[in-house]
Amino acid sequence: MGADLATVLNSAVSFARIQAESHIRTPENANNVIASGQADMVSIVRGQIADPHLVNKARENRVEDIRSCLSCNQMCWGRRSRDYWISCLINPSAGREFEWGGDRFSLAPVSRRVLVVGGGPAGLECARVAAERGHRVTLCEASGELGGQFRLAGMQPRRGQILQLMEWYATQLDKLGVDVRYNSPMGSDEISEFSADAVVLATGSQPAGTGYQKHCPT
């Protein structure tokens, strides 16, 4: 139930506590709903799948560090009642906490020089995690903006939350000291000359150009 419906219900009852939950994505949203009297309490479920540390970050006044849910419903709501765990489009560790620690990072024994080629979603997350673990990270993006094809999706109507995610990554990489280089395509020679200890190619894929589509092969 969203805040609008919670408001209607709250005005009709006297001895019940009303909870709102739909499309409440940030601590600011939650505070406004409660302070305005629209609801007595709020529930942020998908937001804590996207960022399991949402509450602690809000308590520590680190709101800018919260990775906000996109409300895409692809890997959480879309996987309900199926025979495998839910996950998250923007939090790769969701559903794999037993393997990856739930977005908690320990420092690597040795700090290495890491080169990430490609500033799309995969490259951004790779650079962030490597830097969180204490590596010296350089991210090279061929264009002048981060996000790759994901940014293109964010330019569509009612998809501005995707662009907010790109801003979140830019903020996090800056805080972590990642050297982000725009307009820097990297060929094999440039990668060799960089002499990194580890190289991650996150350049995405290109359509085959044959016109063949998996979902409609005929």
DSSP string of 133-167, one letter each residue? TT-EEEEE-SSSSS-THHHHHHTSTT-HHHHHHHH
Distance of CA 182 to the CA centre of its chain: 21
Closest-CA residue to 68 (of 48, 87, 86): 48
Q: CB within 8 A of 95, min separation 6: which ones?
A: 85, 86, 87, 88
Greatest CA span in the chain, whole angstroms?
71
> Phi/psi of residue 42, each to 5°?
-130, 160
Q: What is the pLDDT of residue 217?
A: 59
Taking the C-alpha atoms of residue 141 and residue 118, their distance in angstroms, rounded to an integer, is 5
> What is the residue-level pLDDT of the chain in tens, covering all 218 positions?
677 777 778 788 878 888 888 778 788 888 888 888 888 888 888 899 999 999 999 999 999 999 999 888 888 877 777 767 888 999 999 988 888 888 888 999 999 999 999 999 999 999 999 999 999 999 999 999 999 888 888 888 888 889 999 999 999 999 999 999 999 999 999 999 999 999 999 998 777 777 776 666 55
Residue bearing tokens 């024994």: 109
Taking the C-alpha atoms of residue 124 and residue 174, their distance in angstroms, rounded to an integer, is 12
Q: What is the pLDDT of residue 214?
A: 65
Q: What is the pLDDT of residue 83?
A: 65
Taking the C-alpha atoms of residue 62 and residue 67, their distance in angstroms, rounded to an integer, is 11
Q: In angstroms, what is the C-alpha Rg of the chain?
A: 21
Q: What is the pLDDT of residue 216?
A: 65
| Number of separate helices (H) and strands (E) present in the chain | 9, 6
- Bridge partners (DSSP) listed for residue 200: 116
Please, what are the domains in the chain? Answer: 108-218 (3.40.50.720)
Half-sphere exposure of 45 (CA within 13 A, CB side): 12
Residue 89 CB neighbour total at 10 angstroms = 20
Q: What is the pLDDT of residue 211?
A: 72
pTM here is 0.85
160-175 and 121-132 helices, crossing angle to 10°:
30
pLDDT digit string (tens) for 39-91?
888 888 889 999 999 999 999 999 999 999 988 888 887 777 776 788 899 99
